[in-house]
């Protein structure tokens, strides 16, 4: 870059110091429910994952409930102690996805979206002429007004404007709900000093412990770190990138690599809390993960089943260490003593749902054995993951491990099933052994880091159907 171009770049940065807009929707799930149901607007509201609110915890609370001290993760009993007349509704994830796409379309009318971080967060790079405080705040107010006028007045958002994407996210969190905060270079670090280290995105509990061991216990200490020191504390270049972005440099992380796993989990209601009644839930979760696997044109060589028991720590047989690579690994990723997990490595990576279901069935037998050792064998939730992924075209085949010569035909069959389900609805075609199992409570669920498309949604099946006392055979029937 010539000196003239560098001088012009520096001049533009000084004239337009703001480069990023970060938008965070306020109490998104609850706000959508208030938008769809006007009688809930202005009222405290809790959104629960299941219809049976007495056995679950809130996954979202409205702005009005937050002002009264109600928080996400509270039980209904705890919330009613703070707010006796709080309204309660169960989550409708397919509705939240529809509103999400409407909101994205409205925001795109104002400026291009750079990245959708989750169903309720996005960031956008400010264009030429938008980087001054006056222009950027006018843009942000225009977005807020457009959402209120064209999408829904109950759907408020908080917006942060700053030189880096990291600072813009921090700014959006500083003035909630329905806030608008600008962080200018000259505001730093004073505007951040009142925050705790864990308030900054990217400072996990583990990173905070590393910083404490290095003598850094507040934002002022963090600000004094050099990029080289931060790299050493983090143990990777991520620390250097973090410090530079915190100081306002326009540093973006490298693009995300291919996924390491596909998985889904569910909180279980009382009707699915037993091992036998939870089996259809696990099957449905695996089928969803397998559909995503094929859509990404990848194959998996490992199936992982993990559960959380309703009771506290007990003797649990195989346990979490087997699933996570030992007690130290289990502690490092945050598993608790009441968690259990099992894994199965397949001879050859595959996207064949029948082969994956057979592997899950073997893991379920191990879960049944563990349940027999417990005084209280009820389950709180279940998770199924497909791991050891590789691109479909690059997998290594072991001809001697191929016990079934029909695996290619079955993979093609499942690709066709996916196509039919996309065309006619989420469960138009499925294994006959699962057709009459009770999955009525399984709607689409949203992981906050991923916005599902329409084909991710699981349809309902008839209720009150007979349940098997053990996993049904995963027969090759459709």
pLDDT exceeds 50 at position 441: no
Of the candidates 389, 406, 430, 81, the one whose C-alpha atom is nearest the C-alpha of residue 288 is 430
Of the residues 186, 206, 222, which one is the last residue of a structural domain? Answer: 186
* Cβ-based neighbours of 119, under 8 Å, separated by 6 or more: 28, 96, 97, 100, 446, 448, 451
pLDDT value at residue 202: 86
Residue 89 sits in the same domain as residue 210: no
* Cβ-based neighbours of 10, under 8 Å, separated by 6 or more: none
pLDDT value at residue 260: 87
pLDDT value at residue 22: 97
pLDDT tens-digit series, residues 21-35: 999 999 999 999 999
pLDDT value at residue 140: 97
Question: Domain for residue 468, yes or no?
Answer: no
pLDDT exceeds 90 at position 254: no
Residue 136 sits in the same domain as residue 229: no
Question: Domain for residue 126, yes or no?
Answer: yes
pLDDT value at residue 339: 73
Of the residues 186, 220, 247, which one is the last residue of a structural domain? Answer: 186
Least confident range of 209-213, 236-240, 317-321, 433-437: 317-321
Residue 180 sits in the same domain as residue 210: no
pLDDT tens-digit series, residues 286-297: 988 988 888 888
Residue 249 sits in the same domain as residue 316: no
Residue 94 confidence class, pLDDT cut points 50, 70, 90: confident
Of the residues 256, 275, 310, which one is the last residue of a structural domain? Answer: 256
pLDDT tens-digit series, residues 265-279: 888 888 888 999 899
* Cβ-based neighbours of 138, under 8 Å, separated by 6 or more: none
pLDDT value at residue 461: 30
Question: Domain for residue 465, yes or no?
Answer: no
Domain extent, residue 276, equals 262-456
pLDDT exceeds 80 at position 395: no
Distances in Å between the alpha carbon of 447 and those of 16, 22, 120, 139?
36, 20, 11, 30
Residue 435 sits in the same domain as residue 393: yes
Region 222-229: mean pLDDT is: 95
Residue 151 sits in the same domain as residue 82: yes
pLDDT exceeds 60 at position 2: no
pLDDT value at residue 57: 83
Of the candidates 282, 270, 292, the one whose C-alpha atom is nearest the C-alpha of residue 362 is 282
Q: Is 472 exposed, middle or buried (0-12, 13-18, 19+ CB in 10 A)?
A: middle
Region 358-383: mean pLDDT is: 93
Counted domains in the chain? 3
CA-based R_g, the chain, Å: 25
pLDDT value at residue 459: 36
Region 71-99: mean pLDDT is: 91
Region 388-400: mean pLDDT is: 70
Question: Domain for residue 469, yes or no?
Answer: no
- Mean pLDDT taken over the chain: 80
pLDDT exceeds 60 at position 68: yes
Q: For residue 189, say if its preceding peptide bond is cis, omega within 30 degrees of 0.
A: yes
pLDDT exceeds 80 at position 451: no
Residue 314 sits in the same domain as residue 442: yes
Give the total residue count for the chain.
Answer: 478
pTM: 0.70
Residue 427 confidence class, pLDDT cut points 50, 70, 90: low
Q: What percent of the chain has pLDDT over 70?
A: 72
Region 423-434: mean pLDDT is: 60
Output the domain CATH number for residue 1. 3.30.70.270
pLDDT tens-digit series, residues 456-478: 443 333 333 333 333 433 333 33
- Residue of 135 and 11 predicted with greater confidence: 135
Question: Domain for residue 418, yes or no?
Answer: yes
pLDDT value at residue 414: 67
Output the domain CATH number for residue 311. 3.30.1490.100
Residue 144 sits in the same domain as residue 240: no
Region 171-199: mean pLDDT is: 95
pLDDT value at residue 424: 62
Residue 282 sits in the same domain as residue 398: yes
pLDDT value at residue 426: 58
pLDDT value at residue 393: 75
Question: Domain for residue 30, yes or no?
Answer: yes
Q: For residue 142, say if its preceding peptide bond is cis, omega within 30 degrees of 0.
A: no
Question: Domain for residue 462, yes or no?
Answer: no
* Distance from chain centroid for Cα 99: 17
Region 173-189: mean pLDDT is: 95
pLDDT value at residue 259: 84
189 DSSP assignment: T
CB 335 within 8 A of CB 394: no
Residue 308 sits in the same domain as residue 250: no
Residue 10 sits in the same domain as residue 47: yes
Output the domain CATH number for residue 198. 1.10.150.20
- Residue of 424 and 69 predicted with greater confidence: 69
- Residue of 266 and 400 predicted with greater confidence: 266
Question: Domain for residue 395, yes or no?
Answer: yes
Residue 108 sits in the same domain as residue 239: no
* Cβ-based neighbours of 81, under 8 Å, separated by 6 or more: none
């Amino acid at each position: 870059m010539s000196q003239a171009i560098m001088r012009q770049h520096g001049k533009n940065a000084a004239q337009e110091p703001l480069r990023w807009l970060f938008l965070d929707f306020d109490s998104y799930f609850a706000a959508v429910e208030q938008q769809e149901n006007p009688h809930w607007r202005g009222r405290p509201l809790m959104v629960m994952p299941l219809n049976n609110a007495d056995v679950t915890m809130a996954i979202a609370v409205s702005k009005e409930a937050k002002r009264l001290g109600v928080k996400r993760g509270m039980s209904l009993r705890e919330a009613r102690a703070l707010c006796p007349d709080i309204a309660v509704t169960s989550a409708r994830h397919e509705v939240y996805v529809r509103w999400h796409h409407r909101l994205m379309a409205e925001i795109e009318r104002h400026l291009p979206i750079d990245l959708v971080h989750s169903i309720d967060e996005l960031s956008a790079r400010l264009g030429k002429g938008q980087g001054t405080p006056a222009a950027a705040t006018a843009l942000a107010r225009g977005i807020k007004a457009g959402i209120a006028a064209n999408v829904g007045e109950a759907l408020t958002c908080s917006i942060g404007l700053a030189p880096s994407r990291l600072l813009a996210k921090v700014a959006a969190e500083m003035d909630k709900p329905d806030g608008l905060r600008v962080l200018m270079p000259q505001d730093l670090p004073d505007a951040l000093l009142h925050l705790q280290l864990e308030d900054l995105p990217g400072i996990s509990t583990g990173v905070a412990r590393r910083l404490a061991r290095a003598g850094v216990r507040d934002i002022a200490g963090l600000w004094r770190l050099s990029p080289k020191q931060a790299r050493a504390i983090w143990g990777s270049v991520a620390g250097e990138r973090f410090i530079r972005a915190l100081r306002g440099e326009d540093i973006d992380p490298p693009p995300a690599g291919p996924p390491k796993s596909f998985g889904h989990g569910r909180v279980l209601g009382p009707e699915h809390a037993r091992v036998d009644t939870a089996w259809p839930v696990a099957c449905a979760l695996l089928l969803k993960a397998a559909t995503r696997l094929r859509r990404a044109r990848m194959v998996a060589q490992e199936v992982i089943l993990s559960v959380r028991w309703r009771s506290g720590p007990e003797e649990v047989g195989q346990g979490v260490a087997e699933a996570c690579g030992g007690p130290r690994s289990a502690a490092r990723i945050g598993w608790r003593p009441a968690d259990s997990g099992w894994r199965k490595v397949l001879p050859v990576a595959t996207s064949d749902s029948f082969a994956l279901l057979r592997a899950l069935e073997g893991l379920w037998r191990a879960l049944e054995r563990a349940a027999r050792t417990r005084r209280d064998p009820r389950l709180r939730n279940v998770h199924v993951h497909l791991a050891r992924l590789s691109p479909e075209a690059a997998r290594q085949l072991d001809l001697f491990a191929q016990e079934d010569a029909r695996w290619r035909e079955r993979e093609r069959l499942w690709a066709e099933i996916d196509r039919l389900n996309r065309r006619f609805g989420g469960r138009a075609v499925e294994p006959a052994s699962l057709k009459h199992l009770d999955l009525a409570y399984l709607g689409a669920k949203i992981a906050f880091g991923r916005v599902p498309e329409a084909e991710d949604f699981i349809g309902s099946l008839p209720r009150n159907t007979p349940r098997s006392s053990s996993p049904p055979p995963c027969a090759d029937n459709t």
